[in-house]
Amino acid sequence: MLRSSGSFATFGLLRSLPALLLLAPGAARAQASRPAPTETRRYAIEVAGLRVGTMTATRQPQPGPTDEVLYTCTSDVKVTILFYHLKVYYQVVNRVRGGQLLLSTVEAHTNQGNFSSRTEWKGDHYDIRADQYKYHQQATEKQPITYTVTDMFFGEPQARPRAYAEYSGDFFSVSKAAAGTYRATRAGREDAYHYANGQLVTLIKKNPIKNFVIRYVP
């Protein structure tokens, strides 16, 4: 759920802007009410120095007064190393309101089958169900979830001690290893997140066969 793409425009009518606002106050209000632009971060996925896939994370504020944001994280991977073959298309979609996760869905399509996870806020708890390859989890969580693994693509965790793992339906412990470097650990698994100027530039997902390196593509 790994890229910041920005757009630069030239505003040649800056001098006439006050007059335009006076002539069209309704248009100005409509402009002010528009949500912030979508933020997109793109990454290359590498194994043993070879590019094997891509990852795209987006953060899209939604229109309306509810302070709702839609997050997506999509990866597409194809790996063949000797007798090891992996093919995965994976997408996380998180709906967040007022900083709290309301709904998370995960769809994974792999050479081992199709899998899914779902986390849904029910008003006083979350219903959690994860049905993934050789892993199943069904649980409830009463505390509001305010930070997820997908959020880690859009800024440093700072002092947050854990991040919700949408795929597995539980939490990674998060600790700061050095300036701009964080470790996320869960059930013996460790990922390393490296940031520059507050933006994720490299994610190393440790694997018994070969580590996956997810590298930001400007």
Average pLDDT of each block of 10 consecutive residues along the chain (218 residues)? 37 36 41 75 95 97 90 94 84 97 97 96 98 93 98 96 96 97 94 97 90 95
- Give the integer Cα–Cα distance in Å for 50 and 138: 36
Asked if residue 5 is part of any domain, the answer here is no
Amino acid at 40: T
Asked if residue 135 is part of any domain, the answer here is yes
Who contacts 103 (Cβ-Cβ below 8 Å, separation ≥6)? 94, 95, 118, 119, 120, 121
Contact (CB, 8 A) for 91 and 73: yes
List the one residue out of 214, 183, 176 whose CA is nearest residue 43.
214
Whole-number pLDDT of residue 33: 58
Under the phi-then-psi rule, with left for phi > 0, alpha for psi from -120 to 50, and beta for the rest, what region is 52? Answer: alpha
Domain housing 161 = 14-216
Number of domains in the chain: 1
Who contacts 47 (Cβ-Cβ below 8 Å, separation ≥6)? 79, 81, 210, 211, 212, 213
Asked if residue 63 is part of any domain, the answer here is yes
Whole-number pLDDT of residue 16: 38
Asked if residue 6 is part of any domain, the answer here is no
Q: Give how far Cα 191 sits from Cα of 38, 66, 103, 146, 202, Å.
A: 27, 34, 24, 20, 10
Whole-number pLDDT of residue 151: 98
- The runs of H, that is alpha helices, within the chain are 17-23, 25-33
Angle among Cα 49, 52, 57 to the nearest 5 degrees reads 110
- Give the integer Cα–Cα distance in Å for 42 and 216: 6
- Give the integer Cα–Cα distance in Å for 47 and 36: 35
Asked if residue 89 is part of any domain, the answer here is yes
